[in-house]
Amino acid sequence: MSIRPDLVTFGEAMIRLSPPSFHRLEQATTLDVHVGGSELNAAVAAARLGLRTSFITRLTRNPLGRLVENRAREHGIDTTQIAWTADDRIGTYYVEFGASPRANSVIYDRSDSAIARIQPKEIDWNQALDGAKFFYTSGITPALSASAAEATLEAVDKAREADALVCVDLNYRARLWTQSEARKVMTTIAKKTDILFATEEDTLRVFGIQESSYEAVVRRLAETFDLRVAAITLRENPSVWRNQWTAIAYETDTDTIHRAPTYDIEVVDRVGSGDSFVGGFLYGYLAEGASKGVRYGVGMSALKQTIPGDLCWATVEEVERVLDGGGLRIVR
């Protein structure tokens, strides 16, 4: 049975463990348990806004694997296309929340996870992508292993065959591969991409692209890879607990730079904000194009940063309240 999803995302979801109340890991006697990963986070953001969404990964059939699936299903995500194995492990990662001048920090323990050991042809992409409007993955998935890179390329090709728009977030992870490794693979993928998400830093590190303005960066990305849309998120960090956040997107069709308001963020948990931008963008883009995309992307990801965990437990009404300048009085 096909669910004919609006959006299919593909990548790793990990168990995330974080000490509460600004404790260091060395001090921890309890850890908060969340689930996260770029493609799951984006899927949740999209699903909560109303897109029919399927998340595809490979999981070990044990309580930790089930926990990942459960947390995806909780938001209404279709998980029927996930590949299961008796072997391997579920990746974990640890987050320490900081305070100026101590930055947040992340320790990954993700080697040899079930998804890192995926092989091409393990997923029935024809079934998984049937009817899909968007396929999304990030630069993390191909970085997990050589076979994961192959599987990612296979998925991208299948998505194009299925007439889904290919959407990719660069998401460079220096712990997983070198810049030159990333450049090679991501260039191949970017050429097959319709909508590319990035940050200025990643654009430089992965593609060596540096421009005099953010606007020039997105234009350059769109030209280089013949994209429909190139979007970058923009963060200013005056302190760990207070950031400014916005994004811009260049749309090739209309040759327009689309913008969203800049938000002052009181940061509860900034992990996953770029991913929530993706989910919000795709929701808006599907409805009315990149202009709405960038606004809903920024609204959704601004809310994300006020919520514990990688996932954005917000609603479309809340995004719209933020976008409408809803104010900071108590909502009763």
Confirm or reject binding of residue 101 to a second copy (CB under 8 A).
yes
Q: How far is the CB of 234 from a second copy (least distance, A)?
A: 13
Residue 108 interacts with a second copy (CB under 8 A)?
yes
Rule CB under 8 A: choose which of 40, 54, 57, 75 binds a second copy.
75
Chain residues 115-144 in contact with a second copy, contact rule CB under 8 A:
none
Cβ-based nearer residue to a second copy, 187 or 237: 237
- Which of 153, 160, 306, 316 touches a second copy (CB under 8 A)? 306
Catalytic residues: 275
Contact call for residue 146 and a second copy (CB under 8 A): no
- Residue 297 CB, nearest distance to a second copy (Å)? 14
Residue the block writes with tokens 């309580």: 63
Please report how close the Cβ of residue 146 comes to a second copy at its closest, in angstroms.
Answer: 18
- Any contact of residue 153 with a second copy (CB under 8 A)? no
**Which one of 174, 178, 187, 210 is in contact with a second copy (CB under 8 A)?**
174
Residue 281: other Cβ atoms inside 10 A:
33
Cβ distance to a second copy smaller for residue 103 or 157: 103
CA separation for the pair 94, 34 (Å, rounded): 10
CA diameter of the chain: 54
CA–CA dist 133, 282 (Å, integer): 10
Between CA 32 and CA 148 the distance in angstroms is 29
Does 111 interact with a second copy (rule: CB under 8 A)? yes
Q: Rounded to an integer, what distance in angstroms lies between the CA atom of residue 289 and that of residue 40?
A: 23
Q: Report the residue from 50, 83, 84, 104 that binds a second copy according to the rule CB under 8 A.
A: 104
Which position among 50, 83, 89, 160 is part of the footprint of a second copy (CB under 8 A)? 89
Token readout for 280 is: 């919000």
Between residue 18 and residue 37, which ones bind a second copy under the rule CB under 8 A? 20-33
* 63 touches a second copy by CB under 8 A: yes
Q: Measured in whole angstroms, how far is the alpha carbon of residue 45 from the centre of its chain?
A: 9
Q: Which of 64, 115, 151, 286 binds a second copy (CB under 8 A)?
A: 64
Candidates 147-155, 158-166, 284-292, 299-307: pick the segment binding a second copy (CB under 8 A).
299-307
Only segment of 116-124, 134-142, 156-164, 167-175 that touches a second copy (CB under 8 A): 167-175
Q: Is 318 near a second copy (CB under 8 A)?
A: yes
Q: For a second copy, which residue of 50, 66, 204, 209 counts as binding (CB under 8 A)?
A: 66
- Strand bridging mode 242-251 / 256-259: antiparallel
Distance, in Å, from the CA atom of 96 to the CA atom of 271, rounded to the nearest integer, reads 11
Between CA 28 and CA 25 the distance in angstroms is 5
User: Site residues for a second copy, window 257-276 (CB under 8 A)?
Assistant: 263-268, 270-271
Name residues whose C-beta falls within 8 Å of residue 119's C-beta, 6 or more positions apart in sequence: 147, 150, 151
Strand 263-266 vs strand 195-198: parallel, antiparallel, or unpaired? unpaired
- Specify which residues 134 forms β-bridges with: 7, 165
Q: Which residues contact 171 (CB under 8 A, 6 or more apart)?
A: 38, 138, 139, 140, 202, 274
Chain positions 192 to 251 lying near a second copy, rule: CB under 8 A, are: 237, 239-241
Q: Please, which contacts does 62-67 make with residues 24 or more away whose CB atoms are closer than 8 Å?
A: 62/90, 64/15, 64/89, 64/90, 65/90, 65/114, 67/15, 67/33, 67/35
- Is residue 169 at the binding interface for a second copy, with CB under 8 A as the rule? no
Q: Give backbone dihedrals phi and psi of 250, rounded to 5 degrees, phi first.
A: -105, 130
Smaller CB separation from a second copy, 115 or 314: 314
Q: Is 320 in the site for a second copy (CB under 8 A)?
A: no
**Smallest gap from residue 1 Cβ to a second copy (A):** 8
